[in-house]
């Protein structure tokens, strides 16, 4: 699965794309920006879900019934 490097890569692409558009070198649809933003959110959500599952497996809470007296 994708790690944090993928999230950083998508962020860098968004920054470069925005700068290129603002400086007037290339004029492209803002839909591409939102596509990259969506990809970044999917990567972030996937990483959070994976880390949460790893945490839950590592620190599994076991509930025990009290011993009869």
Per residue in 26-65, pLDDT tens?
888 888 888 888 888 888 888 888 888 888 888 876 666 7
What is the DSSP code string of 15-64?
HHHHHHHHHTS----HHHHHHHHHHHHHHHHHHHHHHHHHHHHHT-----
Domain ranges of the chain: 4-58
* Other CB atoms within 10 Å distance of the CB of residue 44: 16
pTM strictly above 0.75: no
Structure tokens at 53: 């599952």
């Amino acid at each position: 699965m994708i790690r944090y490097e993928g999230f950083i890569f998508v962020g860098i692409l968004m920054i470069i794309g925005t700068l290129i558009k603002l400086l007037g070198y290339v004029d492209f649809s803002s839909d591409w920006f939102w596509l990259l933003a969506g990809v970044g959110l999917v990567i972030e959500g996937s990483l959070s879900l994976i880390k949460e599952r790893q945490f839950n497996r590592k620190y599994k809470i076991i509930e025990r019934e009290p011993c009869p007296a």
